[in-house]
Amino acid sequence: MTSSKNLGSLWEDLGKAMEGEDEIEIGEVDCSASKPVCTKVDIHSYPTFKLFYDGEEVAKYQGARNVESLKSFVLEESEKAAAKAQLDSDQDL
């Protein structure tokens, strides 16, 4: 398991692996410096991996801490979230 102190390179590697993916951004928040942000998105333990779509949390990741697993999670869950958003939009018409 990767400690929270070693996640910097994982985030960088994941960011590089996700380059070219439209509308997907990888970010990191230091909760010791940004407590209001972490409180707002309900982060109480570290590391925590969450996926947000259009400002709303859609999934929390609890799998392996490696680039391929995280990339698969992000792609699968963002596709599901986009499909749901499209369905919701179609129903509003």
Q: Tell me the two tokens of residue 38.
A: 């972490």
Contact (CB, 8 A) for 20 and 8: no
Helical ranges in 2-93 per DSSP H? 7-17, 35-40, 67-92
Kindly report the pTM of this predicted structure.
Answer: 0.79
Residue 72 to residues 5, 83, 84, Cα–Cα distance (Å): 23, 17, 18
pLDDT given for residue 45 in this prediction: 85
pLDDT given for residue 1 in this prediction: 39
pLDDT given for residue 22 in this prediction: 84
Q: Which domains does the chain show, CATH number per domain?
A: 4-92 (3.40.30.10)
Contact (CB, 8 A) for 47 and 2: yes
| Residues of the chain where predicted confidence (pLDDT) is lower than 50 | 1-3
pLDDT given for residue 33 in this prediction: 92
pLDDT tens across 58-75, in order?
999 999 999 999 999 999
pLDDT given for residue 47 in this prediction: 86
